[in-house]
Structure 1
């Protein structure tokens, strides 16, 4: 039954008035502060008790808003499927003031709803594992008929199996599949298609013709928006492996494209090259709702912009798309930002008056979302409306006074109307009129306004009849690129064979995007005559990854391989064909069953000067283990031609080629055989070993292990070092570790090799060098002086830490504590950890007593090293501890005093979350929770499971008292006299990257560094307790203790 909430209506205008009085960049509303562009204002359109936890929404023709609503549960997905606790609410604005004031429970007893689409009298809702069509047949406001429109068949723990659906400009219904759950798609007349990958699917509203638009390795594609000419943009999480602040984003989806991440579910998808590019990087934003702004109410600069919901970042972003080759570039800016950490926008949509509705779901959602941190079902959501302050009011924005149902083809005149809702209604009326409307639409194709012509094309795309196809073919010749693009999409959808000739002409268009859609449509038509025009288009500049994809995918879709084989046979040596066209032909041929592949020509391309040709040949060779003998011969000749005097360019090209081939098991064997071949020259051996070291493999192949044994036994120091680098870079399998370890150990006792090489071998032995005999002891001791280079000193100590030392050997090392610098002493202390012999303890204390590095040592490191020694040693060491940290007593007193003050205070985990993210504490700037936050300090997502209250408070009050492993500060002195303090972010043979503060890094080359020593001051600033009240501290501790 409808519910009128008069009290809610009386209250809302007062709230909105407060918001509207602030015309600046910031507005206070509903307990939070919003930031939005100058000239815009935000209002509250619906809030509790009208709506509690809205998720997604859509309007019907009358302007009623259908909102999917959560019950607030975070039960496991199978429990939610059994209980079906969610619902759909219909909201109405009965007086057209922009504030919803009536609600009806349209449908209850629903599984977790993840999308809403109103289409021709029914609401379509994704509720995994199905998409439901909900219809109110008796017009009482309640859906009394439920039809399972699509059955996905899977429900995973995160329930991200389905999102949507969405109505495409072609009249088909689209949705997203995620979760890597295995689904089976029935295909009439064909074998069922089984897939685990992510996809964008579409099918006709009558349920026929399901097909995939793209294949992906991402976890969770969510929303789809369509550009005016029919291109598809989606929002998705995990479009790449997290790192460097990147994770989620927006993608331009092209038919047949394969998108990131690179995971097993996409292994069997047809490939056209690398994964398709990411349109917009958004970080760990959890993007969801996405819409294209269709009107000009915000101004022409906003028309066709995208607006995206960033769940984790509490904001809506604006994306101004501009054509860039076959895809787009995006200028991304913040549009609406809340300072409330519980503002979680999940949907955004345009109302008929040109305002934007923003759906804030509130704080209830935490299922599979570590960044949400807390489950807050009582923090309710709302729906906000963003207006342009100076926008004129549009009369009758939905055309309610227009008798649409009586117009039929006459509705065509409303395609030029400035009201988007009127145009949408006219589009539907004309599409349902079918062939009767074709003549009127054909006349509009001559309209002076390209937008009107574009809208006529979009209607024609929904009329599956030859007369409509004929008009669409003429639109391929339109003077406007967007009209041609929309016509190309329409003809691609219906696979119209009559459009073959105009599509071939469109392949030569000056618009790169038009060339891309022409290629796509030709592939779907599947006419073999299209092969040569497509190959000619592949050679036509400029190069564009999206055009390349569509051309190659079209070649894959055209049945048979004889045309490709004939084209390749015209240039059997592969010297006259354009490299890009050759790449398209060879990659397509490679993926066609039963095709004749010119193995000899492909292998010869491995020597080509052109990089594209070489990469293509390598990609194909990796797929053919049966070519092993021929490939070995080809690579052998290439390696035997490598001379020591050869210029670096050709050697580098060959190295890159070999690295690209290395992941394939059969090529690993080829490389192993060549490494052991006496006829392979020294330069060839060197390249093979370098290839192995830089291969990135997770485990050393047996064939490589066998090839390494003679290299490790060589008397040539350079070759030994190259082989050692392979052992260090590629872990040996447990089954073959003993043989490799023994070969490396043999190097350590070879007096004919330089001490530095023997020391490297000791540092490289898989599993550690074990006991050290007298013959290798001098090799390790010789660099342990202040005059030796820092890397040599550290390498020797690292070996000692990994070795099995005898008591006499430890006693020999103890005096070094009084001779070495702070960085070496700090590491050397680890050798004495877990020891308890009194004689050794006294030697350690004696060494430390004379150490010039004592003042730079960390007290926690020293305590750890001495912890197992008898009490008498502890007493003897106490003056050293007191000397290291004279402030320790005062810090302990302060810690105890603060703990005592906090005892009567009850910490609140939610207030603590707010403190963590506040500008005063700024914890999230340096520490991550979930996937969101900084990386200067340790990740705190599960800190409550490993640290108690006192440890946590100590870290807040005295961040320099102890350090988390891998976050110990260092001090680096340079030859120029400069000194830097911070955490080592990365370290390599060429230099060090040091994090010195928030968003501050210093890169130092090895040749610049004079000394590296342990630091005693944390990058985290002290004095945080002075920024916070005792209640703030209690709340923050509660939040951190709850992070488990």
Structure 2
């Protein structure tokens, strides 16, 4: 069962001394060549017809394997929910040779099954929007009872609303919620959970005590595994916005943590500061299945390693963990790799004999996964088994020869330390089910650890009279606590408290987690001692436990721990307070301490601790010049006065108090508590104040007064100006701040640098439409003699929606600027681009000016800007005829914009010219047939007939596209990646304008830093030729229809409670107030136009593909 996915925490401390992995060995199967480290073997153990497209699996106690099996359908999720085309099969190895030879359909008619857990006689299967409990009550091998165990309530376009479930060692059931649909859960006696974030949820098997373990902005958390101490780890996609090759991750899940990505779904979540870090970044891997290797069959070096399936990278990776403060680091090594682009591992699990099973789902999956436009349901999957050559055979690995039904608690307790993981786990489960009957025996097991601790402390002998004191292994004692955790009642809680004094730190950690999970107030004194004296992992878990228990007496101890941890961090001479705030290990510990304060909710106690270290303004003054010093003494207690050696650590105490008061409901934090720190010389307090202020738009008046004083200063250093811009930008929706910006921007007596800063703030303001208060000063700025001022004003007008009224109020000054002979050409272009969308005539001079920017020698962004302006203007017939002459030479990006100029025109001569030049235009492949068709029709029947030829060519079906791709892939010359880089960065393709490679390039489209590791040459060719064939997750086009009937297309970049932003091209974004949006629907056309290949010759195309393939 998946309960065995765990690893001993302190057994990993020497793993960094491991040698490098051995040379690899190859194993060949039809269509596959696999590589594994030397000394391993691999065999095919299941496939069609037993199982066709395996997704996830789990074992029952008999060793039978329950596998979710896809039908190969890529229909939209709502259709799959209606038709339920998938199934769950049970595989059995009847002759014991390790290969499955029997299959039965355990359950058919399933919605997309995204998780399998065998627990207590039933299969739990997530099939969005629900998790189902599926049972075979009569033993015929076919399920006859289905119960909706969890109602997830949402089903989104990628069906990633649910993954799992997974059984924790505590006996609770865990699962992941992905996508960003809002879910609401009422919880009697507990706060309601209602948000759109991703989560790891858990509850007891009867679905009681439902709660969130972690939350975040990641798209798709999938698999969860546990350490014996109860530490959860999970895989996820899109942990961060793609950049510099980073995207997906494996995460050590910290209780109460909020993780990236940063976007609107995080609003309202309880935070302790910055978002928490991952265990390891994986790039565009699409990690899914995850397992902890519990056995020693692979060798001691492999015990307690993690293994992850990476769908996109066609491999299983090994993760060697080492403690790092209160969290871990990971050393990642490829374990199993396939050369077949259709190998997609989705799950990995450990069999009882120590072998690993790897599930390959095959080539069918296409939903939200742009591996290729063509799904391949005919490329079926398989199950493979990996063994260590020469590994000793484990007798009766599942304990099937044990008379389980006859075993009493005393017998079962003897199995808690068994060398066979499956036996240990079954003993834990059975002891938990026997309930109160097991408590006495389990208490005797954990007492052995406490006695060992006492013996070690006193030097006493380990026997009394004639009788030797029973000795249970650390493994047995940990597992005894997990069994006790599953049992209700004061006796079980009391027994767990005994384990808090165990001689082994990992056993104590299990007890700490158990006490916290069960909110055992009786354990508070021991937890406080653990917080004071424990290892970092023990301290972190003790803090979490104290927070869950909610005893206000823990507040001073939590603050003392903050100071001690900060002092320890600052003892490193290379560590400064500013660096410590962002140190990953410190941040994890700090989070747990602050989150405990938030959960306890004692705002008066927190305020008292804040006052002990001095009033905010006084402490800031005392801190000047001391922030970089390292404490020289650890002897001062946390309750003493702020001595010089303690000052840096005490700033972290103050930081913790400010954040806790901010996040506690009714905490009473005020602007006067925080604002002085925005101008502090202390980086810790400044960063803390900036974070707090960023979500307090209700402090507008106080903020306005504060910023007014700072902005009035005649000269500010560049660093402070940048800081002010960031801080002001977070409050531009506040009316008081809007008024302040307007007043100081219009006032020519304000320092010039301040006015420039304010214009930059206005241009980036996340507002629904331009505030009325900003309009008069912008008019003044457009007429200002300072070039930088009117340039800034143009940028603001271009960036912010003007709303439905007064849309033409800036037309006159913008046109005046565009005709100003003294103005630089690029400013004239920006002024024209800032004109409203309303079509208006263009004078000859302006028309010629814009046409000149269509020249291929011009920078790509300038070409696109000019094309956009021309496309929305009201041109006369002569201008249209001249513009048509430019169409054959422009690229697809410009052509798609210029077509708009011909909308609603009726002159047949113009229409004939338009159609004629389009037939020979290089960028015609980037044109949309649905846009061209009504344009042709307006010109009359003759033009329409001529245009049909273009439409037929653009509407080439999928088969024709695939044929063309094949012809090009097979017929291209050998590519040169160095030349390909130049093509990528050239004016012809403008790829780098929108795509990032490493740290260079635009961020409109997907990050391509590691694209070659997840896409074949054919995939890359398809993406170049037919960018609308498939879309990368988080870059899907959206169509926005406003309430006045206008439609806009682009990639959704920001989504908040009151506004959204879409990007329609490089430097082209639009913000919409949610109140003005009538409909949001998935788009069908990429913002990357087709036809880029028409700009290139065969060698350049080959070079471009070679360059992209080299990006790994």
TM-score bracket relative to the smaller structure: 0.7 to 0.9
Matching residue within 512, 518, 523 for 2:547: 523
- The question of whether the paired residues in 2 share the 8 Å contact of 1:89 and 1:105 is answered with yes
Q: Measure how far apart 1:701 and its partner are.
A: 4.1
**Mapping for residues 848-863 of structure 1, pairs under 5 Å:** 860=922
User: Structure 1 pair 304/733, CA: closer, same or farther in 2 (3 Å)?
Assistant: farther
5+ residue gaps, structure 2, are 1-21, 453-470, 570-579, 581-585, 620-646, 911-919, 927-958, 985-990, 992-1004, 1031-1064, 1069-1093, 1107-1112
For residue 426 of structure 1, what is the aligned residue in structure 2?
Answer: 427
**Residues 68-108 of structure 1: CA deviation (Å, up to 9, x unaligned):** 22333344444444444433322222222111222333333
For residue 454 of structure 1, what is the aligned residue in structure 2?
Answer: 478
For residue 701 of structure 2, what is the aligned residue in structure 1?
Answer: 629
Whole-angstrom CA distance in 2 between matches of 1:411 and 1:919: 68
1:391 aligns with 2:434: no
User: Structure 1 pair 581/1024, CA: closer, same or farther in 2 (3 Å)?
Assistant: closer
User: Structure 1 pair 756/129, CA: closer, same or farther in 2 (3 Å)?
Assistant: closer
For residue 66 of structure 2, what is the aligned residue in structure 1?
Answer: 66
- The question of whether the paired residues in 1 share the 8 Å contact of 2:130 and 2:152 is answered with yes
**Mapping for residues 722-801 of structure 1, pairs under 5 Å:** 722-727=792-797, 733=803, 735=805, 737-748=807-818, 761=831
**Residues 1024-1044 of structure 1: CA deviation (Å, up to 9, x unaligned):** 999xxxxxxxxxxxxxxxxxx
For residue 573 of structure 1, what is the aligned residue in structure 2?
Answer: 616
Matched residue of 2:810: which SS?
helix
- The question of whether the paired residues in 1 share the 8 Å contact of 2:56 and 2:68 is answered with yes
For residue 165 of structure 1, what is the aligned residue in structure 2?
Answer: 165
Whole-angstrom CA distance in 2 between matches of 1:679 and 1:810: 47
1:555 aligns with 2:597: yes
For residue 335 of structure 2, what is the aligned residue in structure 1?
Answer: 335
User: Structure 1 pair 712/562, CA: closer, same or farther in 2 (3 Å)?
Assistant: same
- The question of whether the paired residues in 1 share the 8 Å contact of 2:128 and 2:162 is answered with yes
Matched residue of 2:416: which SS?
helix
For residue 592 of structure 1, what is the aligned residue in structure 2?
Answer: 664
Whole-angstrom CA distance in 1 between matches of 2:236 and 2:921: 47
Matching residue within 425, 433, 442 for 1:437: 442
1:720 aligns with 2:790: yes
User: Structure 1 pair 321/860, CA: closer, same or farther in 2 (3 Å)?
Assistant: same
Whole-angstrom CA distance in 1 between matches of 2:858 and 2:441: 91
* Greater mean alpha carbon deviation, residues 335-344 or residues 770-779: 770-779
Q: Measure how far apart 1:171 and its partner are.
A: 1.0
- The question of whether the paired residues in 1 share the 8 Å contact of 2:168 and 2:226 is answered with yes
**Mapping for residues 660-671 of structure 1, pairs under 5 Å:** 660-662=730-732, 667-671=737-741
Q: Measure how far apart 1:695 and its partner are.
A: 5.5
Whole-angstrom CA distance in 2 between matches of 1:606 and 1:917: 61
* Greater mean alpha carbon deviation, residues 703-712 or residues 746-755: 746-755
Higher relative contact order (CA 8 A, sep 6+): 2
For residue 120 of structure 1, what is the aligned residue in structure 2?
Answer: 120
**Mapping for residues 441-520 of structure 1, pairs under 5 Å:** 441-444=446-449, 446=452, 450-476=474-500, 478=502, 480-509=504-533, 511-520=535-544
Matched residue of 1:384: which SS?
strand
For residue 762 of structure 2, what is the aligned residue in structure 1?
Answer: 692
Q: Measure how far apart 1:117 and its partner are.
A: 1.4
- The question of whether the paired residues in 2 share the 8 Å contact of 1:92 and 1:102 is answered with yes
5+ residue gaps, structure 1, are 1-21, 817-821, 841-857, 865-905, 947-984, 989-1013, 1027-1044
Whole-angstrom CA distance in 1 between matches of 2:869 and 2:159: 49
User: Structure 1 pair 945/153, CA: closer, same or farther in 2 (3 Å)?
Assistant: closer
- The question of whether the paired residues in 2 share the 8 Å contact of 1:228 and 1:304 is answered with no
* Greater mean alpha carbon deviation, residues 523-532 or residues 564-573: 564-573
For residue 648 of structure 1, what is the aligned residue in structure 2?
Answer: 718
1:352 aligns with 2:322: no
Whole-angstrom CA distance in 2 between matches of 1:613 and 1:653: 14
- The question of whether the paired residues in 2 share the 8 Å contact of 1:25 and 1:36 is answered with yes
* Greater mean alpha carbon deviation, residues 172-181 or residues 675-684: 675-684
- The question of whether the paired residues in 2 share the 8 Å contact of 1:614 and 1:657 is answered with no
Whole-angstrom CA distance in 1 between matches of 2:838 and 2:243: 31
Whole-angstrom CA distance in 2 between matches of 1:76 and 1:987: 33
* Greater mean alpha carbon deviation, residues 482-491 or residues 296-305: 482-491
Whole-angstrom CA distance in 2 between matches of 1:414 and 1:790: 71
* Greater mean alpha carbon deviation, residues 433-442 or residues 660-669: 660-669
Matched residue of 1:56: which SS?
strand
For residue 1023 of structure 2, what is the aligned residue in structure 1?
Answer: 939
For residue 4 of structure 1, what is the aligned residue in structure 2?
Answer: none
Whole-angstrom CA distance in 1 between matches of 2:319 and 2:427: 28
User: Structure 1 pair 797/289, CA: closer, same or farther in 2 (3 Å)?
Assistant: closer
Matched residue of 1:651: which SS?
helix
Whole-angstrom CA distance in 1 between matches of 2:561 and 2:140: 57
Matched residue of 2:1023: which SS?
coil
For residue 958 of structure 1, what is the aligned residue in structure 2?
Answer: none
**Residues 136-185 of structure 1: CA deviation (Å, up to 9, x unaligned):** 34433333444333333344444333221111011111112223344342
1:237 aligns with 2:280: no
Matched residue of 1:498: which SS?
helix
* Greater mean alpha carbon deviation, residues 281-290 or residues 666-675: 666-675
- The question of whether the paired residues in 2 share the 8 Å contact of 1:23 and 1:39 is answered with no
| TM-score, scaled relative to structure 2 | 0.68
Q: Which structure has the bigger radius of gyration?
A: 1
User: Structure 1 pair 923/76, CA: closer, same or farther in 2 (3 Å)?
Assistant: farther
Q: Measure how far apart 1:42 and its partner are.
A: 1.1
* Greater mean alpha carbon deviation, residues 527-536 or residues 698-707: 698-707
1:709 aligns with 2:779: yes
- The question of whether the paired residues in 2 share the 8 Å contact of 1:628 and 1:670 is answered with no
Matched residue of 1:593: which SS?
coil
User: Structure 1 pair 30/654, CA: closer, same or farther in 2 (3 Å)?
Assistant: same
Matched residue of 2:37: which SS?
coil
Q: Measure how far apart 1:224 and its partner are.
A: 0.8
Matching residue within 537, 540, 561 for 2:561: 537
RMSD over equivalenced CA pairs, Å: 5.1
Whole-angstrom CA distance in 2 between matches of 1:181 and 1:944: 25
**Mapping for residues 896-907 of structure 1, pairs under 5 Å:** none
**Residues 970-996 of structure 1: CA deviation (Å, up to 9, x unaligned):** xxxxxxxxxxxxxxx9999xxxxxxxx
User: Structure 1 pair 722/322, CA: closer, same or farther in 2 (3 Å)?
Assistant: same
* Greater mean alpha carbon deviation, residues 329-338 or residues 656-665: 656-665
User: Structure 1 pair 253/913, CA: closer, same or farther in 2 (3 Å)?
Assistant: farther
- The question of whether the paired residues in 2 share the 8 Å contact of 1:715 and 1:752 is answered with no
**Residues 599-630 of structure 1: CA deviation (Å, up to 9, x unaligned):** 22322222112233233333433444443222
Q: Measure how far apart 1:920 and its partner are.
A: 10
- The question of whether the paired residues in 2 share the 8 Å contact of 1:65 and 1:91 is answered with yes
1:41 aligns with 2:46: no
- The question of whether the paired residues in 2 share the 8 Å contact of 1:435 and 1:465 is answered with no
- The question of whether the paired residues in 1 share the 8 Å contact of 2:167 and 2:173 is answered with yes
**Residues 938-964 of structure 1: CA deviation (Å, up to 9, x unaligned):** 834845879xxxxxxxxxxxxxxxxxx
- The question of whether the paired residues in 2 share the 8 Å contact of 1:534 and 1:555 is answered with yes
User: Structure 1 pair 528/736, CA: closer, same or farther in 2 (3 Å)?
Assistant: farther
User: Structure 1 pair 153/600, CA: closer, same or farther in 2 (3 Å)?
Assistant: closer
